[in-house]
Amino acid sequence: MSLLRLEDITVAFGGLLAVSNFDLTVEERELVGLIGPNGAGKTTVFNTITGFHIPAKGRVIFSNIDITGRPTYQIAKLGISRTFQNIRLFPNLTVLENVMIAAQMHFSIPYLHTFLRTSLFYKVEKAIEEKALNALELVGLREVKDEIAKNLPYGDQRKLEIARAVATEPRLVLLDEPAAGMNPKETDELMRMIKFLRDELDLTIILIEHDMRVVMNICERVIVLNYGEIIAEGTPEEIKTKPEVLEAYLGSAAVG
Amino acid sequence: MEKIRNLRYPLFILGTVIIYLFNLASPYINPYYLQIIIFAGINIILAVSLNVINGLCGQFSLGHAGFMAVGAYFSSFLTFYYRIPFLLALISGGILAGLIGLGVGIPTLRLRGDYLAIATLGMGEIIRVILFNLDIVGGARGFPGIPKYTNFFWVYFVVLLVLISSYNLLKSPQGRAILSIREDEIASEAMGINTTRFKIFAFIFGAFWAGIAGGLWAHYIQFLHPSSFTFMKSVEVLVMIVLGGLGSISGVAISAVLLTFLPELLRYVKVIFNTTVDPRMVIYSLLLILTMLLRPQGLLGGYRRKAREQ
């Protein structure tokens, strides 16, 4: 049984077809790369999976549940978590608070306990904090937990977004250009981290990335999008040599 | 922190007792001073509750005077016509204001920023115009003869409650959810937060306490008129929270006190300089402008941030 299935998805913005007749099946514990030139519709695919866009046509099936058109927060609760291309942290909150907001997803505490500060409240709050700290440990940001998120260096902000995505205990993580703005050393670290998430936490990961080193090194399957359609699909080695891919990236002259 | 946690209930009782003792002393205070102190308390309740909507949740509401009016009129209606016990009438006024907050919140909270401000402003005006035409509460003639139940104890007991409940809300899962809406609504949704639900909660919370504040005010000045609840009243509260530092509970409470005392203190300017014109409101406005120029983040806004960075 596949974890995620997109069936014949079409997303239109006015007359523009951002994504058309898109099919995708992702198995449990897969690490899939989604690449393509700017404007190819990669982020639109993510936004459709997470419910920010409602497709004009087609269905999104996640672990046998049809989630098409469901509100974003419900989709998150079912186990799909994401990061954003243009980092979206909670900038004025601390690093720990950022992750706690994600970690509290599966906890619920009635308002009465919150206002009366019962012992149950402190128990739940502590459990949330511990879970958040574990997620921070994972990305190596535990030491800066009291820092204000917007004061972190760029690379750390990206890591914080990953920690936040993981803290919701998802089954599927969508990473939107996680390596953007990172130096080569940080990128190496990031690749190790993504592999760890898959191998040790058994997460399924789809990532959008322009850094081909990342895509070629860690993805098992790569899907190439252009003008909202899949133009190629296969292992990184297969993709590298396909003329359609080279054409999309470099223009037809380069292919000859 | 651990110690405060274990002492939280005894501290609350201690606070209540202290307020009660002050209340016993209140007949010996100059009535003019006492009135300013009571108004300061009511303004704290208004400002701290509006801060939950505007400062913590980031939803720009200009309807606070409307919620205050609902609480003021409804609780006075209950005590005047039905002799309902004061506490019960106060709570009923708060609940009705909260319900109206719910009714207004559901359709309007999908609006953002300026649009929400205009919608809530309209809501406040609707409430005022309805009251203007509601004969049972005096309409345009006003509503006289409200029993004087409000005293120092009730006002500052409610101040204690609104401060504790706001602080407890802020430092909780629900509070973080509310803050995350202010910080980035899209990311908040993606983290599984039902943003609509929390926005409406913040709105109801603010409206409830504004209603209570209205009830306290009505039972102190004993006369209500719709013209007391114009949009200027909402702006007055808005000035308090912006000056105090949006989001900072302590800053907002302090600024509510300062802005209640300041216009009164400025009355002496005329006496000291022996002028024929009263420069009170000019100085008041200049002080507001200066504060915003020198401390755009508000008196205590950003305080916590700085303390942590050092």
Residue at token pair 């720990």:
A96
Of A136, A169, A202, the residue at which a domain comes to its end is A169
Range A111-119 contact pairs with CB under 8 angstroms and sequence separation of 24 or more: A111/B174, A114/B168, A114/B169, A114/B172, A114/B173, A114/B174, A114/B175, A115/B165, A115/B168, A115/B169, A117/B5, A117/B8, A117/B168
Of A122, A143, A169, the residue at which a domain comes to its end is A169
Of A123, A139, A169, the residue at which a domain comes to its end is A169
Is B29 within the bounds of a domain? yes
Which of residues B1 and B237 earns the better pLDDT score? B237
Domain total of chain A = 2
For residue A101, the enclosing domain spans 85-169
> Which of B8, B163, B168, B191 has the most A C-beta neighbours within 10 Å, making it the best mutation to test the interface with A?
B191
Domain total of chain B = 1
In what order do the strands lie in the sheet containing A65-66?
A16-26, A4-13, A57-62, A65-66
Q: Provide the chain A residues 44-103 that lie in CB contact (below 8 A) with chain B.
A: 50, 52, 71-73, 76-77, 81-82, 84, 88-94, 97, 100-102
Tell whether A235 lies on the interface with B, counting CB pairs under 8 A. no
Longest dimension (CA), chain B: 63
Residues A179 and A239 placed together within one structural domain of the fold: yes
How far does the CA of residue A249 sit from the closest CA of chain B (Å)? Answer: 31
How far does the CA of residue A198 sit from the closest CA of chain B (Å)? Answer: 20
Instruction: Please judge whether A73 and B173 are an interchain contact, meaning their C-beta atoms are less than 8 angstroms apart.
Output: no
pLDDT digits (tens, 9 = 90+) for A47-92: 999 999 999 999 999 999 999 989 999 999 999 999 999 999 999 9
Is B154 within the bounds of a domain? yes
Q: A14-26: buried (b, 16+ CB within 10 Å) or exposed (e) per residue?
A: eeebbbbebebeb
Residues A122 and A5 placed together within one structural domain of the fold: no
Q: How far apart are CA A74 and CA B156, in angstroms?
A: 42
For residue B199, the enclosing domain spans 10-229
How far does the CA of residue B202 sit from the closest CA of chain A (Å)? Answer: 12
Is B257 within the bounds of a domain? no
Instruction: Please judge whether B169 and A151 are an interchain contact, meaning their C-beta atoms are less than 8 angstroms apart.
Output: no
Instruction: Please judge whether A100 and B183 are an interchain contact, meaning their C-beta atoms are less than 8 angstroms apart.
Output: no
**Mean pLDDT calculated for residue range A227-233:** 89
Residues A73 and A99 placed together within one structural domain of the fold: no
What's the pTM?
0.91
Among B168, B190, B194, whose Cβ lies nearest the Cβ of A114? B168
Is B261 within the bounds of a domain? no
| Confidence at residue B1, expressed as pLDDT on a 0 to 100 scale | 58
Q: How far apart are CA B162 and CA B157, in angstroms?
A: 9
Residues A113 and A235 placed together within one structural domain of the fold: no
Residues A75 and A11 placed together within one structural domain of the fold: yes
Query: For residue B310, is pLDDT > 60?
Result: no
**Mean pLDDT calculated for residue range B260-284:** 84
Among B179, B193, B305, whose Cβ lies nearest the Cβ of A73? B193
Task: Report the CATH number that the domain containing residue A68 is assigned in CATH.
Answer: 3.40.50.300
pLDDT digits (tens, 9 = 90+) for B181-238: 999 999 999 999 999 999 999 999 999 999 999 999 999 999 999 999 999 999 999 9
Which of residues B162 and B286 earns the better pLDDT score? B162
Q: How far apart are CA A213 and CA B110, in angstroms?
A: 43
How far does the CA of residue A102 sit from the closest CA of chain B (Å)? Answer: 5
Residues A165 and A180 placed together within one structural domain of the fold: no
Instruction: Please judge whether B180 and A114 are an interchain contact, meaning their C-beta atoms are less than 8 angstroms apart.
Output: no
Residues A71 and A149 placed together within one structural domain of the fold: no
Element (H, E) at B228: none
Residues A227 and A110 placed together within one structural domain of the fold: no
